[in-house]
Amino acid sequence: MPLVPMKDVLDAAAPQKTAVPAFNIDNLEILQSLLMAAEAEQLPVILSVGQGAIRIGRLKPLAAAVHQMASETSVPVVLHLDHGASFEQTIQCLRAGFTSVMYDGSRLPLEENIAVTRQVVAAAHAVGVSVEAELGAIGGAEDGIGGGSGGKVSVDQVSAFLDGVGVDALAVAIGNAHGLYKEKPHLDFDLLRSIEALPKAVPHLVLHGGSGLDEEAIDTAIDCGIRKINVATEIRLAYLKGTRAATSGDIYETIASAREAVVEIARQKLRQFARKA
C-alpha cells in the first residue's frame, strides 16, 4: 500500500493505548527485514532514515527503496526523517517523498527552536507530511546525535513550545538516552504524566532511546502517553550478530542469517509496543 503520514498511525494507536516502533534503516537488508516483520505481524511500522545513513549518501536511495517495497505490503508504512539537522534537510526529504520529518532543534534556544520548527511545519503540512520536534537534552549518542547531559525537559518548556508551534509528535527528554543504556535508566514518568495532562492540545509523545528498555518501562511509558518509540541500536546489533552467525562464507547465507536476526527482534518489538501476546 502507499506510504502514509506518521500522524495517521499515531492517531490510530492513541485510543488503543499502544505505540508504534520507529526502526532506523541503514541498508536494503534491514529495510526488507523490517517490512517482513511488519507484514508478518500485520502491524504498522515507521521506517526512519537517520543522520548516519544520510552522511554516507543513502537518503535518496533508501527513500526510493522504501516507496517501492512498501507498495507491495498490506500494512501502513511511514518513511520518516530522524533528527533532521536543518530546515533545508527537511525540504530535501519532502522532495524525496518522506511522509514524516523530524526537525531536531533541541540544542537551540527555545525561541529559535520554535521559529525553525514553525517553518518546517508550514512546509510539511502543506504537502500532507507529519512533523516531529524535540525538547530537552537526550543523553547518549547515536549517529552522532545526542551526547548531551541528559537534562530533562520541563513542563513549562513544553507548554511554551506548544504555544509557539503545532507539531504532530514531540520527543521529550525524561531521562532516556540514545544507544544502549550502561545502567538501568530512571525514566521520569511523573514528568511524562504532567506533560500529557497539560490543559492544551498535546501532540503524540515520542520516546527516543528505546533499545534495551525493559518491558515494565515500555508499558509504563505507553500508559503515560508515549505513542512512538525509537529503536535503532538493537536492530543494528541484531543485524551484525546475524552476519557473524553465518560461517559458510557464502554472501547469500550471510544476508539470510542477518535478515532472520532482524526479523526476530523487530517482530518482538512490534508485538510488545502493540501489546499483543
Point out the residues that are catalytic: 82
CB atoms within 10 A of CB 116: 19
- Non-local (6+) Cβ contacts of 1 within 8 A are 70, 71, 73, 74, 75, 76, 77
d(CA 208, CA 256): 29
- Looking at the chain, the number of H-run helices and the number of E-run strands are 11, 11
On whether the CB atoms of residues 139 and 177 are closer than 8 A, the answer is yes
- Non-local (6+) Cβ contacts of 180 within 8 A are 211, 212, 233, 234
On whether the CB atoms of residues 239 and 261 are closer than 8 A, the answer is yes
d(CA 196, CA 190): 10
On whether the CB atoms of residues 156 and 117 are closer than 8 A, the answer is no
On whether the CB atoms of residues 201 and 166 are closer than 8 A, the answer is yes
Is residue 25 helix, strand or coil? coil
On whether the CB atoms of residues 171 and 204 are closer than 8 A, the answer is no
User: Which residue's C-alpha cell is 542477518?
Assistant: 258
User: Which residue's C-alpha cell is 533545508?
Assistant: 88
| Strand-strand pairing, 20-24 and 204-207 | unpaired
Residue 105 has φ and ψ, to the nearest 5°, of: -105, 25
